[in-house]
Chain A
Amino acid sequence: AQKITQTQPGMFVQEKEAVTLDCTYDTSDPSYGLFWYKQPSSGEMIFLIYQGSYDQQNATEGRYSLNFQKARKSANLVISASQLGDSAMYFCAILSPLTGANSKLTFGKGITLSVRP
């Protein structure tokens, strides 16, 4: 079975500064994908970034980058130049196995990020 661990308490960051949200994972599947989603108070899950287990380079999407350390089984999200609109709940998730009828997305418990003006 796959598992995602997010242990940080609620995080606070000053506007325009960078912040790192931690995520560790566990899976027995050799192929998997790692995701980060943002969920504002409105409820919608917003896709931020994806990293495949065989990708050689760390994924980047605008202000979001994923620090992928496969040997340590960690997939930390780095948000640069924080904005007030970044205040939300952030979920790390694993897609495992990557394909097939048993493929499913499992979420970590999430972390609340608050951006201070």
Chain B
Amino acid sequence: DTEVTQTPKHLVMGMTNKKSLKCEQHMGHRAMYWYKQKAKKPPELMFVYSYEKLSINESVPSRFSPECPNSSLLNLHLHALQPEDSALYLCASSLIQGSTEAFFGQGTRLTVV
């Protein structure tokens, strides 16, 4: 199983809503990542978790709150988002942070209205 599974695939939320994105992998990887990708732009790193601990936070606004409850699961909690936060959110995992192969999920397309 070389899959990274993201749910939901699509999400529309209002600016006052609270929602969560979920990412799961069962490859025994100990590093997991969140990226944000705007249309026709490259993915931008948001957070890195290594052994369930936050390793990198790329100065992401606090309305995005990551959580890594166990080695297989990564969540991104969303609260009070803005329309400009609408994007494709990609999750990835790798054996360890800096591993030479990272597997990406198919992403969640988020629209904030």
B90: chain A residues within 8 A (beta carbon) = 43, 45
B66: chain A residues within 8 A (beta carbon) = none
A105 touches B100 (CB 8 A): no
CB distance from A105 to the nearest CB of B (A): 7
Given known pairs A42-B106, A98-B98, A101-B50, the reply for A107 and B42 (CB within 8 Å) is yes
Size class of the A contact interface (CB-based, 8 Å)? 20 to 34
Residue of B with least CB distance to A112: B40
A100 touches B97 (CB 8 A): yes
B102: chain A residues within 8 A (beta carbon) = 47, 105
Number of interface residues of B (CB under 8 A): 25
Contact with B along A96-117 (1 / 0, CB 8 A): 0111111111111110000000
B45 touches A105 (CB 8 A): yes
Given known pairs A91-B42, A107-B42, the reply for A100 and B98 (CB within 8 Å) is yes
Alpha-carbon separation in the docked complex, A91 to B101 (Å): 15
Question: What residues make up the interface of A, taking CB atoms closer than 8 Å to B?
Answer: 33, 37, 42-47, 50, 52, 89, 91, 95, 97-110
**Nearest 4 pairs of A and B residues by beta carbon:** A103-B98, A107-B42, A45-B104, A99-B98
For this complex, 22 residue pairs linking A to B, each with C-beta atoms less than 8 Å apart, are A43-B90, A43-B106, A43-B107, A44-B104, A45-B43, A45-B104, A46-B104, A47-B101, A47-B103, A52-B100, A89-B40, A95-B98, A98-B98, A99-B98, A101-B55, A102-B56, A103-B98, A104-B56, A105-B102, A108-B42, A109-B41, A110-B40
